Amino acid sequence: MLRKTALIACADLGGYCYGDHHPFKVQRYRLARELMEAYGLLDLPAMELRHPREVTREELLGAHSADYLDRLREFSAAGEPRADFRYGLGDLENPVFPGVYDWACLGVSGTLEAARLVSEEGFAVAFNPLGGWHHAQHGRASGFSYLNDATVAINHLLAKGKRVAYLDIDAHHGDGVQNAFYHTDRVLTISLHESGVYFFPGTGFESEIGEGAGKGYSVNLPFLAHTDDALFMKAFDEVAFPLLAAFDPDVLFTQLGADTFRTDPLTNLEVTTHGYAYVLRKLRALQIPWVAVGGGGYDMMNVARAWTIAWAVMNDQELSPRLPAPFSKLIADLGFPHRMLLDAMHWAAEDERNAALDAVEKSIAYLRAQVFPILLRDEG
């Protein structure tokens, strides 16, 4: 019997824009879809394209304060620029643009639909590329994120009696999701990200392991600049994978940001599609019902390649390492020189890599001493 998979279809996003000079480009979603289509990944026998229903205010209130939602909606409908820094709205990072509330709700509704399909309709995997807004906090916008789709969807899964493992491989710490579930043992949050010592959002240190009933259920692997494919895979294999297996969740929820890649303009890691695909294949092997969302990525071709690889892995499809000719022509006309989907394994320069290796090994040792005994005892 074929595994059922669902890709959440985006509505027309042409009316939304963070601004010409903002690093977040809405066009990346169209590029990713074009590449999936070029590989024949949008008409697979067991997949469905699904359109979500609108998210309700009551569902949003499980993750956000009423006053924040009111202000976001008010600003969204305003005819002139607005700002309220108490709510993180209107600065360079989180601009207020016409329809920003509707834009944010699109991501939440898609992720909520993905969670529903996996938990209620028997889908093996559901992927919402428009999700992944992991910085949004209970009462404010942060890090380009206005509403936290993962928190809303995980709350839905918890209400259905599910235990959830949340894995975040974005270059930025998944602080909003961690904060939402820091005191519970029903959600295991694992984040692999660039170190908050010098990088936004300044959190995600090894010592953040949860509190109260949640102690041991918050896991962070902060990477130094120049962490490459091998170090990324090492951290995943020695910490994330065994903890996911030990927790044995009812639902695996992954945030698949592509800003860990070495050519991303905002980050300092040196991962490629090689390390990214390796992690996805290991996740697929777990055979756990799987909800996936997009996330960061400020090189649009990296985003398109990463999420195409992700959707192929979710559907057990092997792809040619060379981009399809029609797609190569399309992106050449747009000024992109890329010709390959898959990168060779990349190693950082020796001195920089040694410092990153020392940091990874220190993080792994800390987590094995402080987190593994708690989680393995509780789940044993």
Question: In the chain, what is the greatest distance between 2 CA atoms, to the nearest angstrom?
Answer: 57
Per-residue model confidence (pLDDT) at position 148: 98
Cα–Cα distances in angstroms (integers) from residue 26 to residues 15, 109, 130, 200, 287, in the given order: 10, 17, 9, 21, 32
Average pLDDT value for the chain: 96
Token pair in block for residue 69:
């939602």
Per-residue pLDDT tens digits for 307-322: 999 999 999 999 999 9
Per-residue pLDDT tens digits for 39-74: 999 999 999 999 999 999 999 999 999 999 999 999
Q: Is 191's pLDDT higher than 80?
A: yes
Dist CA 227 CA 263 (whole Å): 13
The CATH code for residues 5-379 is 3.40.800.20
Q: Enumerate the active-site residues.
A: 135
H or E stretch covering 230: helix 229-235
User: Which residues, in sequence order, are CB contacts of 88 under 8 Å at separation 6+?
Assistant: 94, 137, 140, 141, 142
Per-residue pLDDT tens digits for 90-137: 999 999 999 999 999 999 999 999 999 999 999 999 999 999 999 999
Mean pLDDT value of segment 328-339: 90
Per-residue pLDDT tens digits for 273-302: 999 999 999 999 999 999 999 999 999 999
